[in-house]
């Protein structure tokens, strides 16, 4: 998407430091040095890579900024799913996260398409509606109760529904953020790797926002 706007993100350094962030959530390399080490290392490596890039000086800010966005928006937020998985009852909570987001998407589509009349945020996403959001919340709540009865660790019904509603709302915000970026870039999809569905980001945009919220909720729980 950044390339569609004329930027030239540093793909190889960006992928490398993004992978470092994901691995850091799985197994911290230097836990005694604090959580900001991978963030600082990523920032330094990206700027040094652009400094010695053969590209001209013009566009350096845009190139570095788009690389930062890719690392922190995609890789770092994705890494929180690893954090959820490695926590207590992580497998159940990660499956719960996926099921809630999928149910939210299905509910939003099933209700929003035939009954959507009031636009949710037309400037960014003309197709999303308030009715679709309500459908997402209802479907997420129903899925939360199903997951609670099926495989979740002991939690109350009220807590399960509250978590589901929270994840559905922040997941919708994540979807809108990606729509914002796509609209700014003038593209329909983030990529073409999945025929008929666009790129991986198009399938994971809600999850990128929902995973950090669930991770910190479980840390504070």
Quick one: pLDDT at residue 83?
92
Per-residue pLDDT for 101 more than 80? yes
Per-residue pLDDT for 189 more than 90? no
Per-residue pLDDT for 32 more than 90? no
Greater confidence, 171 or 40? 171
Rounded to an integer, the average pLDDT of 17-27 is 87
Rounded to an integer, the average pLDDT of 37-52 is 89
Per-residue pLDDT for 93 more than 80? yes
Quick one: pLDDT at residue 195?
74
The pLDDT mean for the chain works out to 90
Quick one: pLDDT at residue 4?
87
- Report residue 193's pLDDT band, with 50, 70 and 90 as the boundaries: confident
Per-residue pLDDT for 28 more than 90? no
pTM summary value: 0.89
How would you write the chain as a 3-class SS string? CCHHHCCCCCHHHHHHHHHHHHHHHHCCCCHHHCCCHHHHHHHHHHHHHHHCCCCCCCCHHHHHHHHHHHHHHHHHHHHHHHHHHHCCCHHHHHHHHHHHHHHHHHHHHHHHHHHCCCEEECCCEEEEEHHHHHHHHHHHHHHHHHHHHHCCCCCCHHHHHHHHHHHHHHHHHHHHHHHHHHHHHCCCCCCCCECCCECHHHHHHHHHHHHHHHHHHHHHC
Rounded to an integer, the average pLDDT of 110-135 is 90
């Amino acid at each position: 998407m950044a390339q569609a706007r004329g930027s030239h993100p540093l793909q190889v350094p960006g992928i490398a430091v993004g992978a470092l962030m994901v691995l850091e959530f799985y197994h911290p390399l230097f836990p005694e040095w604090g959580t900001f080490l991978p963030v600082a290392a990523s920032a330094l490596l990206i700027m040094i890579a652009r400094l010695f890039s053969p590209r001209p000086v013009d566009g350096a800010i845009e190139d570095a900024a788009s690389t930062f966005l890719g690392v922190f928006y995609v890789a770092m937020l994705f890494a929180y799913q690893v954090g959820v998985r490695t926590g207590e009852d992580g497998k159940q909570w990660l499956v719960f996260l996926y099921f809630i987001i999928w149910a939210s998407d299905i509910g939003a589509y099933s209700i929003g398409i035939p009954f959507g009349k009031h636009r949710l945020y037309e400037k960014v996403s003309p197709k999303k509606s308030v009715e679709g959001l309500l459908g997402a919340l209802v479907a997420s709540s129903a899925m939360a109760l199903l997951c609670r009865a099926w495989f979740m660790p002991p939690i109350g019904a009220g807590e399960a529904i509250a978590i589901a509603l929270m994840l559905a709302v922040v997941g919708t915000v994540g979807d809108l953020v990606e729509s914002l970026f796509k609209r700014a870039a003038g593209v329909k999809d983030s990529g073409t790797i999945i025929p008929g569905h666009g790129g991986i980001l198009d399938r994971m945009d809600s999850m990128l926002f929902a995973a950090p919220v669930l991770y910190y909720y479980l840390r504070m729980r």
